[in-house]
Amino acid sequence: MKINYSDEDVVKGEKSIFLAGPTPRNKDARSWRVEACNILENIGFDGIVYVPEYSSWKPKESYVDQAMWERIALSEATTIVFWIPRHLPDMPAFTTNVEFGYWLHTGKVVYGRPDNAEKIKYLDWLYELDYDNKPINNLQELLQLAVIKTNETKLNKVLIK
C-alpha cells in the first residue's frame, strides 16, 4: 500500500481509494485517517490511498493548492470513501457536504459515519436514494467494502480492455 499525501504529487494510473471526510483543524487533534490507513494496511489493500492531509499531519498551508490536489486525486480515485464523524463545533465537515454532493453521482462513493455523527440525515437519505445502500456505521467495515469495490472496479476495467 502506498499513501499519497496532499503535499506530494498525485500518483495516477493505479487502483486507489480517496479518504474523504472532515479534516481536524486543531493541530492537537488526531486525524481519523491515521486509523483508516492502519486498517487498510492490516486488511492488505495493495493500491494507493489518497490522504488529503500533509505527510507531517500539520494543517494545510495553501487553500488553493490543497483544493486542486484534492480535485485531481478525487478524479483519479477508483473509490471515494466518505467517513463523516461530524461533531460540532470542532469537526463540522462543511466542505465535506459539498464534496459528497459533487461526487455522489460518479458511482465511486462508499459512505459511512458513526452512529453519534451529527446532522447527517440528509447525507444518509441521498446515499440510500442513489446507491440503494444504508450508510455503514463502522470504519473497518466501510474500508473493507471500499477495498472490495476498488478491486472489482479495477478487475472489470482490465476485463473490458
pLDDT at 29: 77
pLDDT at 160: 55
For the beta carbon of residue 54, count every other beta carbon within 10 angstroms: 15
| C-alpha dihedral, 74 to 93 to 36 to 31, nearest 10° | 120
Distance CA 67, CA 76 (A): 14
- Residue 89: is the preceding peptide bond cis (ω within 30°)? yes
Please answer whether residues 120 and 86 qualify as being in contact, where contact means their C-beta atoms are separated by less than 8 angstroms.
Answer: yes
What number is the average pLDDT over the span 9-25? 94
pLDDT at 51: 97
* Alpha helices, DSSP H, located in 53-138: 63-76, 94-103, 121-131
Q: How sure is the predictor about 157, in pLDDT bands with cuts at 50, 70 and 90?
A: low
Q: Which residue has the higher pLDDT, 60 or 124?
A: 124
Please answer whether residues 143 and 112 qualify as being in contact, where contact means their C-beta atoms are separated by less than 8 angstroms.
Answer: no
**2-160 in CATH: which number?**
3.40.50.450
Beta-bridge partners for 51? 5
Beta-bridge partners for 111? 82
Distance CA 7, CA 65 (A): 9
Q: What is the pLDDT of residues 134-144, one digit of tens each?
A: 999 999 999 99
pLDDT at 67: 93
Q: What is the pLDDT of residues 80-118, one digit of tens each?
A: 999 999 988 888 899 999 999 999 999 999 999 999 999
Residues making up the chain, counted from first to last: 161
Please answer whether residues 73 and 10 qualify as being in contact, where contact means their C-beta atoms are separated by less than 8 angstroms.
Answer: yes
Q: What is the pLDDT of residues 29-83, one digit of tens each?
A: 789 999 999 999 999 999 999 999 988 766 666 678 899 999 999 999 999 999 9
- Domain chopping of the chain, boundaries: 2-160
pLDDT at 25: 76
Give yes or no for residue 161 having a pLDDT over 80.
no
Instruction: Give Cα separations from 148 to 16, 51, 120 (angstroms).
Output: 12, 19, 25
User: pTM of whole model > 0.85?
Assistant: yes
pLDDT at 59: 63
